[in-house]
Structure 1
Amino acid sequence: MTVDATLGTSRGLLIAIALSACAIFVADLSLPLGIALWSLYFAPVALSNLAWRPSAPLVTAAACSVFIVAGYFLSSGRESAAAHYAPLNRGFGVVAIWSAAILGRRFIVSRLEVRREDWLKAAQTGLGARMEGELTQAALGENILSFLTEYLHAQVGAIYLADGEASYRRFGTHSIDPSSAGPDVVRLGEGVVGQAARDDRLVHLEEVPEKYIDVRSGLGGHPPRDLVVAPASVDGKVHAVVELGFLNRIDDGDLELFARVSRSIASAVRSITYRTRQGELLEETQRQGEELQTQHEELRVQNEELEQQSRTLQESQMRLENQQAELTQINSQLEEQTQALERQRDDLTRAQADLQRASTYKSEFLANMSHELRTPLNSSLILAKLLLDNREGNLNPEQVKFAQTIYSAGNDLLTLINDILDLSKIEAGKLDVRPETIPLARLVDELLDGFKPIAQDKRLDIGAQLDDDLPAVIETDPTRLQQILRNLLSNALKFTERGGVFLSIRRAASEVVFDVKDTGIGIASDQHEVIFEAFRQADGTTSRKYGGTGLGLSISRDLARVLGGDLTVDSGPGRGSTFTLVLPERYVAKDAVHAPRRQATSMGRPVKARPEPTSGVATSPALDDDRSKWSPGGRSILVIEDDLGFARVLQSLAHQLEFQALLATTADEGLKMAERYRPSAIVLDAGLPDRSGLSVLDTLKHNPVTRHIPVHMISVSDYAQTALEMGAAGYALKPIPHEQLVEALKRLESKFTQRVRRILIVEDDETHRASTSLLLAGDGVEIVAVGTAADALRELGASTFDCMVLDLSLPDRTGFELLDDMSQKEQYAFPPVVVYTGRSLSSDEERQLRRFSQSIIIKGARSPERLLDEVTLFLHQVEAELPPDRQRMLRDARHRDAVFEGRRVLVVEDDVRNIFALTSVLEPKGARVEVARNGREALAHLEKEPGVDLVLMDIMMPEMDGLQATREIRKQAKHARLPIIALTAKAMADDRENCLAAGANDYIAKPLDVDKLLSLARVWMPK
């Protein structure tokens, strides 16, 4: 502790001072006033100076003053003459005593300061002695901490020395448990130690919390009462921080000691640090000196070697001078060769230009050859399809088989043409890659489903295996991947007579490996590369057993490399073959910028009464839907929608309503899935990538297998009238609120779960009413027949109907007035209406009826077959469940299509074979076919013969091609709404774009698909 603690006052001195003062007071009371006995009070005041406390003289003087005053009032002899001077005398005594006390206090303070200064200097001297000598940082820290804890009687302590610019490391502790000592290194600003170092300011903490740290002995522990954290700095840099804990209260003298020794501690630490660094530098210098000595020796050896090399170089120089002369002669020869190379380079440049032109000519040649091949193939396929359908029933089974053979051969030829076009696109680097996410399990299921019938026919096994560590999906072009795998599986089945074909998929690093293994004839090792060359096969002799062009594997390997992978083979004669396709899990585009998947875009059509097909050929991504867990006969919905986000919304909503959901993004895929899975209902988008939604609806409603399925259409444009006329169960405009979507799905559910379908017949003639009822009656059909408009309104107000058959001539009012009442009054239901009348409707009457286009379907059914066809369409009846005679009537009704009945179709085509084929398709449907041989004839025909309902425009024609003819037609305002469907045999991507840009409403490639052509014609044919 400090000098204040060591200089105390003994109890005996205090008692002596008190007793002397009391004795003087008693003596003063015993003597009369006038005797200055109070002067003896100077004795206790003088004794108080021995107490070495500045307050002792003042306290003693105060007590003596009280005694002097009390003695005046308590003493006897107040009547004596001397007593009159007693107050003055005693007052002087009080002043004198206080003066002596003040002098005594100053004396004590002065002596204390001298003693304190001696104590501080002794501390500085002792600490300085502890810090002398060649010490390490750890030893210095221990010496400093040991001295301060001993000198100040501290119970615990620690010292931190600077360790770099912004941290302090603990180099010593005193009476501290290492487990509770905190971190060894404290950064600047961390905790009390770090903050004291940052601020260069002493921190004194009083009443330290109990759990901060304990001063422990063998029997127990107690937290310190005071804590001091003192930084030691010199020249503005803190070099050390001392932390001490005390069980007793410390005073200002202790704190002043920290201030006195701070600089000396910092200087000592800095000196040790510098000395340590100097020693390290000295060692480094010595090490470098040794290295320099070694290098010097190495340089000496190198100099000797260089001298030897110099002599060698001089000799070499002489040889080089001789060679220089030779090089001069060689240079002249090289200059001549350089000039020759420049001439060759110019020749190569010209050759490259020639190759570029040749490539252009090749592309044009392929396009023209495609046209020349597809044009005759078109008529062959159409006529073969007509013969194959045998609608007249006048061909025997053998003749139908001949037609099937012709049709199959034509399709094989079409596949060959497409392979050649694919090969040319790959060679030109113009093949587009449209990467999409593909679920591998779905991909395998679809591939096996397609090849199982072939395998069963050849009595071969076919199967697949997917490794457990495979990713669920990969990202690549689904169309090209399926093209490769289908070709490999097809080849494997073709060349395998016994055993089977197996597809396995495994993972290798970041790649996916597809192995197609067969037990077929095998391939010799010298043929492994030959089979990947275009138009080459392992057996190319005239006696070869297996057919084919040799293009499939060549195209497959090229496609694999375009997708960032490769295709290899491992095979031998008699042991089968294994073709291995390696693809990255995620396709990464290389140099070429590939076109993205095209979305539905405007075709630039002039007529706004029809939906617009899109201009791109889309590929359908492999979607994650419910087909893998498909349950036939269950509640199911097929969503045909190219917007994947909206399709997912519909899928989620279907799941909420407990439907199985199937997804398709293209028209063709949707039609295939509808026929394969036969869902309970269909949600159909009007704008699809490959065909318009109305064309899909038409195809569905003309297919007996799918005709009964209720279809709800959705679109961004209003084609409700057309869709409802074609048999749609409902129509909605995007964007569609969630509640409206739920309501639409519930309406579809009510359609396919409906057990009884109700028909209202409004006919005034009782005989006709009875015959119509008999025609439409059947299982699950309830017919209500009335003869007046009033009865019809009463029935419509009381209940709902699925269809209404209306005669326009009624006794109480006309059919027009009845429809007007139904549309204006909400209490009446408004079902689909088929106008069934004995007379033809005039144009004015038809326009009048079209006022109800938002909720009415106008059909001119003029025969029982046609009426049955229309009503079953709106009732969503399964055709196969109708009686045989009704099915026959429906087939007869569809043989002559009402859409084509009496319509004029202008066929603009220069090839007589195609003209004959198209005429054979359209005229049996009731259409009148008119012909123009080129674009000029088409313009002249339209000018001379107005009233054409539809134009089928070939593209490649003499004099004026189809594109120019279409542009010229669109320039005329009177033909702005004339439907034009482009026909082309080039099948190139830009050909489609050019057709739509020229003003065509739609597009179809040759060879023509008869059903697709008829569907497009129905959609675009004006009603």
Structure 2
Amino acid sequence: MAFKDLKIGTQLMIGVGIITAMAVLLGATAVVQEESLWEDTSDLYEHPLKVRRAAGALEADILRMDRGMKNLFLTENEQEQEEILQGISADEADALQQFDILYDRYLGSRSDIDTVYTDFVQWNTIRGETIRLLREGKTAEAASRTKSTGVEGALIEKMIGDGLIIGDSALMKADELYQSAQQHKDEQTVQLAALLAVTLLLFFVISYALLKAVRDPLLELTGVSERYQHGDYSARSRIVSPNEMGALATSFNTLADTLQTELQARENATGIATGIAAISLHEDKLEPFCRDILVVLMQYTDSQVGAIYLINAQKTEFSLFESIGLSASARPSFSATMYEGEFGAALATRQIQHITDIPEDTVFTLSTASGDIRPKDILTIPVLSGTEVVAIISLASVRAYPATALQHIDDIWGLITARLNGLLAFQKIQAFTETLEEQNRELNEKSRELALQADELREHNIELDMQKKQLDEANRAKTVFLSNMSHELRTPLNSVIALSGVLNRRLRGTIPEEEYSYIDVILRNGRHLLALINDILDIARIESGREFISLRTFPVLELCNMAEERIGPQAVEKGIALQNLVNPDLPLMTSDFAKCQHILENLVANAVKFTEEGEVTVSAIVADDEVHISVTDTGIGISEDQINIIFDEFRQADERVARQYGGSGLGLAIANKYATLLSGSIAVESTPGKGSTFTLILPLTITLPIPETHGAAEWEVSGHSETPYHPVEHPGAGKTILIVEDSEPAIIQIKDLLEEEGYRIRVARNGKEALEEINNELPDAMILDLMMPEVDGFTVLRMLRSGDQPVRIPVLILTAKHITKEELSFLEGNGIHQLIQKGDIDRKSLLGTVGRMVSEPLEQMSQKPAQSPRHGVRDRPVILIVEDNPDNMMTAKALLREHYTPIGAADGQSGIDMARREKPDLVLLDISLPGKDGFEVCRTLKQDEELRHIPVIALTARAMKGDRADILSRGFDGYLSKPVDAELLEQTIWRTLYGA
């Protein structure tokens, strides 16, 4: 086989193999020559060079030994002589080593070395005799032996001369070795050059043969492909070879044949698509389109029979719509749900089906003069709308369909489907349009009727809007009325309760006991009336939707303990037992603690009130994520027909009982509304004469959004209470608390609470001020809001707890912000004392938390300077009372006269004039005044440069939720609600004037 017919891989392997063999031969030759050169160099070094060095070293040893012998005669010191003899012995030993080298490496006559060695041995004997003579004192005789004419001198000269012979012989041997190496080098250079020339010649010959074997076929194939690219589809390669180039040429020829066939098929497909497009352009009716499409398909597929079937409106069967060449006996329809016959596979698979084994019962037969002919092949083309078959196109031929015809059908299937679906949709739209036109005519009639009804509805809506406005106005009037009534009722109550308290203190022991008891009756009934007013306001606030829910998590036992603590004294007074049987291991509940407390205290108080003997028990269980708190008594009980009315406002079960036990009928109504507000309820079981069980049912967790607000209206502190609040010595009294809060109402309210307990309060309104205050003086504790401008609470806490010397003061977080899991983790990691949501605590809870916080030992304490009174306060302060009600004016003066100098004004303008004239130390200002109201008076005083330093405290009967925050936000320095508690009035004035 010729080299060019070998496979390209074989050709490459042969060429590379030859070149590799030559390279290996060239390398081996180089290695052999290099080894020869190394041997010459080694001989040159190991023999002549080392012999020459050893001869020189031997001559030096002999001369040093001779010089040592002569030095022996120059010294008379025995120690120096011994040192010289030791040096001679060392040189002698080195000389013997040089003799060993000469014997081992010398390439000349061995007798040359023997002669020198014999003389050296003889010299040793003579040298020993000379040393003996010297030691015996025969110095002259010994010295003569070492002279050049002496026996030693002559022998040394002979040894040096013989040594020169050895050195010259070594030089001659070195010249011989060098000449031999030069000759080897020249021979090796010629050999390497010849091998390299042969290798390069073989490389070029083989490269040319390989290049020609690959390039010529590639050039031929490139030329054929360029001809094919420029449209010569008959171009074919003439390469015939068993190697890869021959296979490539054969593949190219096959590909060219296939492409030529494909192009021809595409031209046919384009013709079909063009024909269908032409039909689509001028046919917008279904029947002529189907007929024309059958003509085109039959022409390009060489079919003899064609038919189109359309599905009916019920989608149950296909009916013959159009056909060409179909026998008259063909069935006009077939089932759409039964996949049978030649159409079954197309319906089931929703794909084009090519049937070659035609069944005997086919509907496709071709009628001819000689009879019906059964076709050889059938094509079934499903037309899809989404996944649903809406039409079937079937073609039949007496000859087998070529592959090109099948490819044509597959290429234009989507086009046929789109156009036929479009015409079907158009036909449906036309039918739908006709139906719509009919319906529009009917709708126009109904529209006229509806227009009349719309006019009537419009008039009705106008009436409803008017009614809504009237209801809104009535609701507003109700709120205003309740506010006004609160003011009007509290105003006289202020005088009744306050003056009764004054008389109670001043007249104790000065009047008969019976008359003194009248004062207690007046005071008790005044407070009872105040509680009734508060209940009415609570009902109004709930019904108006102004009641807020503040969530916190607490133990059920804590709730029940507080109820027991509050109502226990009443039970003791009546001589009945009040038992708290609540299990302390019950799960925590999340709800509004204050409202839960209100409900439970009302239920327990009622149980105690209506029980004359026996006991009242409080118990609790948890079932189905609900807590059931039951209050059971052994009292008078309630009949079944009266249970439904006890939760109505101002209703009681029995009027006679009401007269006996008293009550307004609002307690249970408020409790029930609060329970409903907390997604709970109150259940009642009672037996007349035996007792009752009231069960408060609440969810363990109620989830409500926490409002993002910095206001503190959710936990107001007012001056009224069923039992006056008497401050007691607090565990943290006298300690300094830093309040970091940007909301002024919140600052005032927290400050009022804490200052009543003896705390010294410092205030920072943002994070930056807080850090400055801490740098100036370290407080005992800090109450920190989180959401503040500039530097927020998180940053303040981070800066306090970080650094080389972190500040370890206790921190109480009091915020309205919803705390995320990540923020809670940060707060806990920085050692906060407690986290409280605004609105979640009452006065007692806050004071208890702060007391526990400041009672813990601190790492760092600071010196706290004593408080000083407000600058310019008189020894007996003058207090201006601006009040239009004479009774309230008299009451206020009576309460203040013991420690202060009260002066009064009956309206706003008079109050301003008196303030400018008298320059009082403090102003007690009513809000509802004739002429200028309290807000105008306060604004005028604060704008006056001479009066703006005078503190103004609001003394008002406005006690609706939000009134305190509103009043404080208008510039007032304090707030007291009527009726005024004498102790609270005294504390507020003292704190305002003296800061403690």
Q: TM-score, normalised by structure 2?
A: 0.43
Q: Tell me which structure has the larger Cα radius of gyration.
A: 2
Query: More helix by proportion, 1 or 2?
Result: 2
Q: TM-score, normalised by structure 1?
A: 0.42
